[in-house]
Homo-oligomer: A and B are copies of this chain.
Amino acid sequence: RIDGARLTSRLAELSMIGATPEGGCRRLALTDEDRQGRDWLVAQMKALGLDTRVDAIGNIVGVLKGQQDGPAVIMGSHIDTVGTGGRFDGALGVVAGVEVLAALRDAGLTPKRDMAVIAFTNEEGARFHPDMLGSYVWAGGMSVEAAHREVDSDGIGLGAELKRIGYEGAEKPGFLPAHAYIEMHIEQGPILENEGGGLGAVTGIQGICWLELTLKGRPSHAGTTPMAYRKDPGLAAARINIFANELTKTIPNQLANSGVIRVQPGNVNVVPETVVMTLDLRNPLDAPLAKAEAAVRAFCAELAERDGIEVSFRDLARFPATPFAEELIAEVERSAGEFGLAVRRMISGAGHDAQMMARLCPTAMVFIPSIGGLSHNPAEFSTDDDMIAGANILLTTAWRVANA
């Protein structure tokens, strides 16, 4: 069993780094706050005697050596946050993984296989694209070089920031072969709470499509240019946002969000020249997701034709719906059963590092409820009881898989 007080106090410590006045965390990937969080994590891992290493994309790996060589049972998540982040998203999964290894050490137990915990770089995709970048590189989906070339919205390079904060490590991403991957995370949505609590055995992750649209019109004077003469990409962006929102009413389970809208030149009396906007489209099934994307593209083509706006697209992230391994989902359920905890199968709305690790090995996740379904919000909250329950399931499942 894990030490609940130690788990929650470790999370509270990490929460101080990048704490915001609203009670949340702002620890954007590869910023100084992220560096401080990393320094704290490395110190925790070393204090536990874990073999602690950093790879070339900044993933931090702590290994508890097992009795035999060979692939490891890996736990993990991330410690970066979005701009309006909470204290639990990602951080909890990393801290829980550390606590699992601490509990085993305290109990004097050595697993058959290696067991490890990884904090992956830039999971949120809030600063650099795509999201789940660290685990994507770890799983071989993207080269280290390509990832280093990513830039944030100020044009600052990921590679440069990794160097600056001292987390461009010597290891090759993926250096630790994976036997299985298990991630604990907050649900970040309202389903478990609406179902009366209990935990989630995650069956997979829905498909994700992130598009960046650049809309070019013609800057002109807002006082002298007749409405019919205008080519206003701001108005086009508004129509696209509403169109994507309407799609969610006709395509089952479709989600859409426009989280970024940047207008140039951004003067009150200038009809905009350029708008850069993003769309985050998701669906549990790949086919309707593709249909939603095609509908957006067709709508933009019409707009371009009708309103004289140039529209160009760039993929920021594109991950198919990812089912998890049935045998590992069943292990999560079994562990919950041993603790007498209610558990329900559910799909994940959010992307997670588990979605990338599923490319390499059998993968599963444990979800705990998010109060009010809130996440990416400073008011994000989960109870101590649920955190402790989730960490015990993580421990039990990982331990069993590591010794099977």
Contacts and interface: CB of A to CB of B under 8 A. Distances in A.
Interface of A: 82-84, 124-126, 129, 131, 153, 187-190, 206, 208, 210, 218-227, 229, 232, 234-235, 237-239, 241-242, 245, 248-249, 255-273, 275, 278, 280, 282, 316-317, 348-351, 373-377
Contacts of A350: 221, 223-224, 269
A344 to B, nearest CB: 15
Given A124-B267, A259-B272, A271-B259, A376 B129 contact: no
Contacts of A239: 238, 242
A22 B374 CA distance: 46
B129 A268 contact: yes
A182 to B, nearest CB: 20
A219 B188 contact: no
Given A83-B267, A227-B248, A242-B242, A220 B258 contact: no
Given A223-B349, A224-B350, A376 B269 contact: yes
A219 B273 CA distance: 28
Contacts of A224: 187-189, 348-350, 373, 375
A234 B261 contact: yes
Contacts of A125: 267-269
Given A224-B349, A375-B221, A273 B188 contact: no
A299 to B, nearest CB: 14
Contact of A221 (B189, B225, B266): B189
A94 to B, nearest CB: 18
A280 B223 contact: yes
Given A221-B349, A221-B375, A225-B373, 11 more contacts: A83-B264, A84-B273, A126-B268, A187-B224, A210-B268, A220-B375, A222-B259, A234-B259, A259-B263, A269-B350, A271-B376
Nearest to A218: B377
B84 A219 contact: yes
Nearest to A377: B219
Q: Which 10 A-B pairs have the closest CB atoms?
A: A83-B265, A189-B224, A224-B349, A222-B257, A238-B238, A188-B224, A126-B267, A84-B219, A221-B375, A223-B350
A95 B27 CA distance: 52
